[in-house]
Copies of this chain bind each other. A is one copy, B any other.
Amino acid sequence: MAATRAPNELSAIEAAQRIASGELTCEALVRACLDRAEARESEVGAFSFLDPKLAIETARRMDQATGPRGPLHGLPVGVKDVLDTDDMPTGMGSPIYAGHRTRTDAAIVAKTRAAGGLVLGKTVTCEFAGAAPGGTRNPHDLSRTPGGSSSGSAAAVADFMAPLAFGTQTGGSMLRPASFCGIVGYKPTYGTFSRQGLKFAAENLDTIGLFGRTVEDVFYFADALLHRPYAPPAPLTRPRLGLCRTFLWEAKAQPEMRAALEAAARQAEKADAIVTEFDLPAGFADLSPARDIINDFERTRSMTWEWAHHREAISPQLTGAIESGLKISFETYAAALRRAETLRRELDVLLGDVDGLIAPCVNGEAPVGLHYTGDPALQGLWTILHVPTLALPAARGPSDMPLAIQIVAPRDSDRTLFALAAWLRDAAGVHLPQPHKGS
């Protein structure tokens, strides 16, 4: 089966293995990705910058290179357009930065290249990684949003234009598009990757994360970026899983999301996991307002120059956030930071009884329309807690659109997150079913 797949349909790990063994060239892989992009970009619109000539030249140079090869050798990577690249413009999804060139790569981009990765292009971001969409369409249904703000990265990976891509999450900008597009989105523990060369949305929330089509691919990518040899997921026996509906369950989770999460819990239990109800104490309801305060205050701060010089070019959505941020006093902001810090410590303790949590990832399927990328609340709750989270494609909604459950592990327990995701998929059978034919 796998042998007949086009190179762009291979997982990152399969592609890396074939390149290492000489079965596949970097050029053939990048050409397959570019061919797919050429066929689909006019509809999907995942890239804000794509230079096929540059990509092919780079791939050829990689094929010819002698000397030691990094773990990402030749793997095409999409880079969200809020991360600097020294050879491509960085547009931030804003007319203010149209054609903007930076002298350097963001640290994480430089690290990708140092590990052999090939920066395929810049992917569409919502304006400044916020709420104003960039026009990307969901590859599963072009009438729907792919989610945001990492819209292009999620769509490119879902649509086989690249095996791997970078996103960032401040509210729900990684896990929501991953769920809407039916791929794996991994937001590591806050601070795992350097943010040098990232234009901040909100400094205390922004987390660089990874997209791939398999759980293994995103951790293979992460290990390469962290300079450690890739280790497959640890096998688990009777994992202890908290079923965490969250205090947003009633207000946010739609029937398909509730059904998907509850089915995953039942499947896990059947596969011998110890599944317990995990309720966040009442104080955790403070997280949503605290996140809003931190988000608005910090976005306003990091947009000081743009607000002073290009106010007219800022979207109504972001203008609203900035006007809200300008009304927040520094004391209110500092208090929200400390409240978040306290809740992080409380969660550290609460998570001592489980290996991890399963939680709703999104409200439901990707909404129809391109003007709104969806509600970040169910993802943003965990972003402010700085815990690692992963979107595991798990179900289909009433319109056959993909839907993920969210896996949550304690801070610094990203390896456990990986093991839980693989266990849920393999032992419990939690994975994305094929679309219903003829429905």
Contacts and interface: CB of A to CB of B under 8 A. Distances in A.
B103 A302 contact: no
Interface string A187-206: 00101101111011001100
Given A227-B330, A228-B329, A304 B412 contact: no
A7 to B, nearest CB: 27
Interface string A210-240: 0000000000000000111000000000000
A347 interface: no
Interface in A304-353: 304-306, 308, 326, 329-330, 334, 337-338, 345
Contacts of A86: 305
A196 B203 CA distance: 8
Given A103-B100, A114-B308, A334 B196 contact: no
Report, as a range, how many residues of chain A touch the other chain: 35 or more
A269 interface: no
Determine how many copies of this chain the complex contains. Answer: 2
A304 B203 contact: no
Contacts of A36: none
A147 B303 CA distance: 32
Interface of A: 86, 97, 100, 103-111, 113-114, 189, 191-192, 194-197, 199-200, 203-204, 226-228, 298, 301-306, 308, 326, 329-330, 334, 337-338, 345, 411-412
26 contacts: A97-B103, A104-B305, A105-B304, A107-B301, A108-B304, A109-B305, A110-B305, A110-B308, A111-B304, A114-B308, A191-B203, A191-B204, A191-B337, A194-B203, A194-B298, A194-B301, A196-B199, A196-B203, A196-B302, A197-B305, A226-B330, A227-B326, A227-B330, A338-B411, A338-B412, A345-B345
